[in-house]
Every structure is written in C-alpha cells, then in structure tokens.
Amino acid sequence: MDKKKIIIDCDPGYDDAVAILLAAGSPAIDLLAITTVAGNQTIEKVTKNALRIAKLAHLENVPIAAGASRPLLRQAVTVAANIHGESGLDGTTLPEAEYKVDPRHAAQLIVDVVMREPEKTVTLVPIGPLTNIALAARIEPKIVDRVKEVVLMGGGAHIGNIKPMAEFNIENDPEAAHIVFEEKWPIVMVGLDLTYQALATAAVKEKIAEIDTPAARFLTQVLARFSENYKRSKGFDEPPVHDPCAVARVIDETIVKAVSAPIHVEYRGDYTAGMTVTDLRGKVPADCHTSVALELDRERFWNLIIEAAKRL
C-alpha cells in the first residue's frame, strides 16, 4: 500500500497533539513535515509543543518549521488558553526536545516540499488558522495545481464556536481562510458539523488508559485535561477532539464522509467574519472544488487513534 504523503500545519494544542500522534502511528501516512502557526497559543509555545510531541512520536527525521505569529491583516491571534492552558498543553508530561527548528519559514517549507514531491502526491492538513497556507499559495502559486488536496480542520456549515457562525481556526484569520478557499485546489472542510461527533467518551478514555505505551500515557493526560477544560469553559460533558478528524479523513475517507458543496469565507461582516458559508441546497456546480465533512464513523475513528497509540 502506498503511503499518503501529508504536511501537518498546526498549533498544538491538545487535539493537535492527538492528530500528530495519529499521523505518526498510522501505517497509511508518510508525514513529510510539520509546520506551526499561532492559534491555540503563541507561535513560540506551539512550536515548542510540536517539537516535544515529535520527540515522543519518534519523528526525528521530520522537519519542523515555525510560521506566522499573527494573522495576515488583523492585529493579534486570540489564543485559546481557556481550553489549552497557558502552555498549550497544560497538565501533560512530554520529553524535552533536542530537535532544531528548520530555519525556513513554515510557508517556505510547505512550498519546498510540495515542489519537491511528484505532482498530486502531497496533501496539506491544516488544523490551525490558515495563515501559513495562504502565504504558501502566494509565495509560489504553482503549489495550488501540484497539491493533491487540502484537508483542513476548521469552519462549519451550520454552527460556530467563537461566534454564532464562525469557528476558531477560520475566525482567527478569515482573510487567510478566504484566500485558501478561493484557490482551486480540492478542499475538504472537516468542521464542527463533523468534529462534534468525535467525542472523547469515558469508554474511549478507558481503552486508551489500558495501553502501556508512552504515547498512550500522554494521550490519557491530554484527554483528561481537555475534558476538564471543555467542561468548565464550554459545558461539554465529553470534549470533541477536532483535529485528528482531518488526519482520519486522509487515512480513510469512508470514516469521515464528505459531500460536495460550494464554500466561501465571509471576512467583512461585523457579526459574520469567519463564517464558512456552505451551500447545501443540492445544486452543486460542475467545477465545485470544495466539500464539507458531515458524517463520522465514531468507532472506526477511535480505533485508528487507539491502534496508533499502541504502535508508538
């Protein structure tokens, strides 16, 4: 089986950590690079977290580059310390990282990897704000035709979580999201409609706690603190683990099912900036390049994560 080549662009973050471990532990994935963007925490903190997660997952040969520290036009990222803590991974234990950050900007690393690999073989998996992806598309427009697809965690067809109709990753840099969605590469939006189905239930946490590997012990810490913070901040009894859903879609699209639909990002409205306007009326243009994920096979999704934790 040919492995699926991906670049993860992330802002770790509890659920980003789960996504990286899923990619590292999946025999279906060839992780070519990890890039970071300010989002759940500052660029310095999320880059440190990415390095330490990579150390845990034995990703010594995967380049890691830091990217945008702020949105394209807006003044600052609103970090999610209420969910992820002041470090981005409060309440967890990770090894200190010995790896060095790649000297290139994250956007340049993305460009270099996509241009190096054969055409239509690299999937971009952004699971934070889309600033680095927008910058990469502007630095080298040729990547738009070379990328296999963009499978992103963000947005929502019916609901938001920062605003009534705006999700955190998109709302943090709606101008960047507008650029990314308007490019003609194939896009799968794995948004809140899907990720709110990926709940870390007590049964799931018990299964992971039974696994005696460093990755599983770390995941147990992640899900425990994530659950506490989500309950306190959002009122959820069980937290939705958003970001690994995008990786799961790349591994097996029958686990994360999507339908074609035109999607555009609103970036000018006083109340709607960050809204992913998704047309689900049924009339899909022939040239539609966007899809929205709506249905999750929960059991198979969590089995992917559990098996990855065992392998690591």
Domain boundaries along the sequence of the chain: 4-311
- 250: nearest Cα among 279, 293, 207: 293
- Res. 261: pLDDT tops 80: yes
d(CA 22, CA 215): 10
Closest CA to 280 of 170, 157, 161: 157
Residue 98 has pLDDT above 90, yes or no: no
Average pLDDT over residues 16-42: 97
| pTM of the shown model | 0.97
pLDDT (0 to 100) of residue 79: 83
DSSP element (H, E) containing 206:
helix 202-209
Q: Is the predicted pLDDT of residue 97 greater than 80, yes or no?
A: no
Task: Judge whether residue 77 has pLDDT over 80.
Answer: no
Q: Average model confidence (pLDDT) for the chain?
A: 95
- Give the Cβ contact number of residue 55 at 10 Å: 16
* Whether residue 23 has pLDDT greater than 90: yes
What pLDDT, on the 0 to 100 scale, is given for residue 14?
95
d(CA 234, CA 103): 38
CA 77 to chain centre: 17
Write the DSSP string, 245-274. HHHHHHH-TTTEEEEE--EEE--S-TTTTT
Residues 22 and 215 sit within 8 Å (Cβ to Cβ): no
- Which of the listed CATH numbers 3.40.50.300, 3.90.245.10, 3.40.190.10, 3.30.470.20 matches domain 4-311? 3.90.245.10
pLDDT at 304: 98
CA distance 55 to 57: 5
Told to judge if 264 belongs to the known catalytic residues of this protein, a careful annotator would answer no
Where is 31: in which H helix or E strand?
A: strand 29-36
Q: Which of 158, 242, 264, 289 is catalytic?
A: 242
Helices and strands in the chain: count of H runs, count of E runs: 13, 10
